[in-house]
Each structure stands twice: as structure tokens, then as C-alpha cells.
Amino acid sequence: MLLIKRFLLVIVTCAICFVANAQRETSKYEATYKDIVGMLEGQQSLDFKKAVFLVEDAYLGGVLDYKAYDYTLQYYKSLCEKLIQTRDLEYDGIDINRVSKFAAVYTVMKDTIPVIQSDGEMFYHMPFEYDFEDISGESDWRKMFVTKLLSTHKGNCHSLPYLYKIITEELGEEAHLAFAPNHIYIKQRCKSMGWYNTELTSGMFPVDSWLMASGYIHLKSIQNGVYMDALNDKQSIAVCLVDLAQGYQKKFGKDDGAFVLKACEKALEYYPNYINAMLLQVETKFHMWEMNVEDNNENKAKGLAEIQAIYNRIHELGYRKMPEEMYLDWLVSLKNEGEKYNNKKIRF
């Protein structure tokens, strides 16, 4: 009997610790939500670098060190500044100072760079690589993280453009996130050619026809700003809010959809046609509708009508689902047939 009591005590203690830990983690998510919404609503300054850190730290339970994160980013900023000082750029536009920064960030992310240390020793900075394993973070959500990219030098079409944007902004310039099906890339502009694309997974500057070649970008989706549009600062922070919601769902499951819906709805206030927010919102609503067996027929019918209306809206915006296998083929074709899609005007 004493052994049974001790066993039960251990079970109860473990259960209490589990609940307390879960409460701490959900509290971390609520605090992060409040911080990011504060950026959107003007109580805090818009800070993409910080928002990305907060989202990743929430998923990891608050173990990340912001000073270490910032220190690493300052190293890459310094490396970019050294490149700008020590090389001549093949560009004669009046905005050469801006373009020099863009080119430096690209070089740091995609090229091998010899670096001479203060003691005269030389080492090689290696480029960041694409991680083809679990590209959408289905098995391990950390695969999407900038902090994972910084520690392993391997990332995907989520973390690579995020890092490019962060370093560029640390240098005092703009880099705009842009979406294609299952994909994020960078849009920037310079005086000599206007807007151009920087694609970090392949390390190329593809023309817009590359994006449309897949057949999964409907004209409506371009007209409605779903794809191929340069995001502004608030839209980029709204994207972080949906990243937060996705991490919450990965961590705690689908059954409690209240936090996910709250985050998606707030993001859509600032980025109304953000397709990933709408998809996560409607999928969460449908799951909750299926789980709620106690609703009467009238409420069930009303809930289903609301879900159908969101699906209709998604379709009207021009969204078409792109299978992951086709997305991988698309990336490989860009790598193998890149010259066909590369912007020939870019020589810097």
C-alpha cells in the first residue's frame, strides 16, 4: 500500500509540473502576442529583428539569449561593412551606396569570403546553404528559424529571406519580403532598373516570369497582392504574428484554437489578403467546428456557412494550392536552369 501511495504521489507531482510548465509556455505566447501587437498598434517601434526572435523564443520556451542573437547579427553587419570598404562595385548609379549594401548582404549570405583576422591569420566565411530536409518544418518546426540558420548555416525559404531582411535593415536599408506559392523571397529596388527580385535559396535574381512559370500564380492573386507584392513594415510584422500562431499550434496541437484564431485575425487587420493567415484561420475554424459536437443544428449550419465563406474568399483572391513535390521540382529547376530566369541587368 505504501508503494502504491508513493507511486500515486509521483504521478500527481509529475502532472502538476506538466500543467505548470504548460501554463508558463502559454503565458510566454501571450506575452509575445502582446509585444508584437504593440508593434502593430504603435505602443512599440516596428522591429522585425526583435519580432522574429520573440516568435522563436516563445516556441523554445524562453531559452534564447537576445544579446547572443544580436551579437551574431552585428558580426554579419560588420562583415558587410568591411566588404563595402574593401571592394569596388561594378555599378555606376547615383544610389551606389545603397546598392553596395544590398550586394554586401548577398555576398555574405551566398559566397565564400576570405577574412583576415587582427593577428594576421585568415579563415573563410562560408555561405549559408539550403536545407532540403523537412523544408516546411513538419517534423521539426525549428527548421523554420533564423536562430537555427545562424547556428547551422543551413536554412530554407523562410529563414533565409528573413535573415537577409534583418541584416539589410541593420545596415539602414530596406528589404521587402514577397510571397510566391510555398515560398518567400526578397524584393528591392535601385535607380538603374527599379524593382528586382533576390532569391536566397538558389542565390539568383530571377525575373517575374520565374515566379509565374509554375502555373500556380493566378493573375487574380497578383492583382490582389497575394503573391509577388513587396510587403511593408507592418505587413512583415503581421507575418511574424502568424508564425507565432503556427508555432503555437505545432507545440500545443489543434484542439484549442482560440489563440491561433486571435493571432490570425489580428494579422489580417494589417495584412488583409495574407493567404497563409486566411488558410490557418479557416483550417482552425473547421477543426473547431468538427470538434464541437454539442452545438445545435442551427449553430452548426451557421459555423459551416462562415467557413465556406472564407474558403470562397481565398479562392476569389486567386489562391491555388501548390503540392510540395512540385515546389521542390520548381526549386531544382531554378537551380539547374537558372540562366533562363536570371535578371541579366544585374551585374553587381
Please report which confidence band the pLDDT of residue 259 belongs to, taking 50, 70 and 90 as the band edges.
very high
- Residue position matching grid coordinates 518567400: 184
pLDDT of 180 over the 60 cut = yes
> Which pLDDT belongs to residue 125?
87
Mean pLDDT of all residues in 254-265: 92
**pLDDT at residue 338, rounded to an integer:** 62
Q: What's residue 103's pLDDT?
A: 94
Per DSSP, the chain holds a count of helices (H) and strands (E) of 14, 7
Residues 122-171: tens digit of each pLDDT: 888 899 998 888 788 888 999 999 999 999 999 999 999 999 999 999 99
pLDDT on residue 258: 94
3-class SS of residue 15: helix
Please give the pLDDT value at position 348. Answer: 63
From CA 168, how far away is CA 166, in angstroms rounded? 6
Q: How far apart are CA 155 and CA 180, in angstroms?
A: 18
**Mean pLDDT for the stretch of residues 243-262:** 93
Per-residue model confidence (pLDDT) at position 215: 57
33-64 pLDDT, tens digit each = 999 999 999 999 999 999 999 999 999 999 99
pLDDT at res. 314: 93
Task: Tell me phi and psi for residue 342, to 5 degrees.
Answer: -75, 145
Write the CB contacts of 278 (distance below 8 Å, at least 6 apart in sequence): 264, 268, 310, 313, 314, 317
Checking if the pLDDT of 183 tops 50, the result is: yes
Position 256 pLDDT exceeds 50: yes
pLDDT at 26 over 50: yes
Position 340 scores a pLDDT of 66
In this predicted structure, what is the pLDDT of residue 249? 96
pLDDT at 7 over 70: no
**Cα–Cα distance between 288 and 282 in angstroms, integer?**
10
pLDDT for the residue numbered 4 = 42
Compare 297 and 225 and report the one with higher pLDDT.
225
User: Is pLDDT at 333 greater than 90 in this prediction?
Assistant: no
Give yes or no for a contact between 63 and 57, defined as CB atoms under 8 angstroms apart: yes
Q: Per-residue confidence at 2, pLDDT binned at 50, 70, 90?
A: very low
The pLDDT of residue 334:
67
pLDDT at 124: 85
Distance CA 286, CA 308 (A): 9
Q: Where are the domains of the chain?
A: 44-341
What angle do the packed helices 159-170 and 66-86 form, to 10 degrees?
Answer: 70
| Per-residue pLDDT at 119 | 76
Say if strands 154-155 and 129-130 run parallel, antiparallel, or are unpaired. parallel
Length of the chain: 348
> Is residue 266 pLDDT above 50, yes or no?
yes
Mean pLDDT value across the chain: 87
104 or 114, which is more confident?
A: 104
> Residue 214: what pLDDT?
62
| Between 177 and 223, the higher pLDDT residue | 177
